[in-house]
Copies of this chain bind each other. A is one copy, B any other.
Amino acid sequence: MATGRRAEKMEETRAALIRAARRAFAEKGYAAAAMDELTAEVGLTRGALYHHFGDKKGLLQAVIAEIDAEMLAHTARLRAAAATPWLGFLAEGIGYIELALDPEIQRIMLLDGPAVLGDPSRWPNQNACLRTSIAMVEALVADGTLAPVDPEAAARLINGAALNAALWIAASDDPPATLARAVDAFRRMAEGLLAEGQPRG
């Protein structure tokens, strides 16, 4: 499609607004981020913002969608690089923990996002990520690697554990050391889902 000069510029301002919002939300938090500052930073006014995103919440949604897509792509790469499905599953969880070390992700995705937009498992992208996790657990249960556990429940618990670990690590004094402790415990817990007699990975 021949995107005219018009549409092209428009996409540019959308991107600029989202970029500025990511910075502002990450640094000051959603509530304390003023839209006037945000927009002025990229040479616009709130008019542009309300035109493109409807309201402040809409801007946050756009920001979250972008970050979420990046996270999804990252964990998918880790999973694909693993030797076995089970190791892929572990790698995905551990990668998720590492990702959440980023202050931007913590503040926007883990703290403000849920408070403003509600339960993250209802977000479209998170749902996609979760669905792949569920599918993996299903496959691992089917081939006998995992005990007959409810796939969605297992995927969500693993996710929750990883998420909380990330918050802990981020708030700790020595993140790398804490990361190591968390990853070890995470691996053990996940191994609790393995079927009897399966090698512990």
Say yes or no: A184 contacts B149, CB within 8 Å. Answer: yes
On whether the beta carbons of B114 and A185 are closer than 8 Å, the reply is no
Residues of B within 8 A of A122 (CB): 171
Which of A33-41, A71-79, A151-159 participates in binding chain B? A151-159
How far is the CB of A148 from the nearest CB of chain B, in Å? 10
CA distance A170 to B123 in the complex (A): 15
Please tell me if A199 contacts chain B, counting CB pairs below 8 Å. Answer: no
* Bound form: Cα–Cα A185–B134 in Å: 13
> Cβ of A129 < 8 Å from any Cβ of B?
no
Tell me what chain A mostly uses at the interface: helix, strand, loop, or mixed.
helix
The tally of residues in A whose CB lies under 8 Å from a CB in B reads 46
Binds B, one of A3-11, A12-20, A80-88, A186-194: A186-194
Complex CA gap A190/B193 in Å reads: 9
A175-198 vs B, Cβ < 8 Å mask (1 yes, 0 no)? 000100110111011111110000
A152 nearest CB neighbor, chain B only: B181
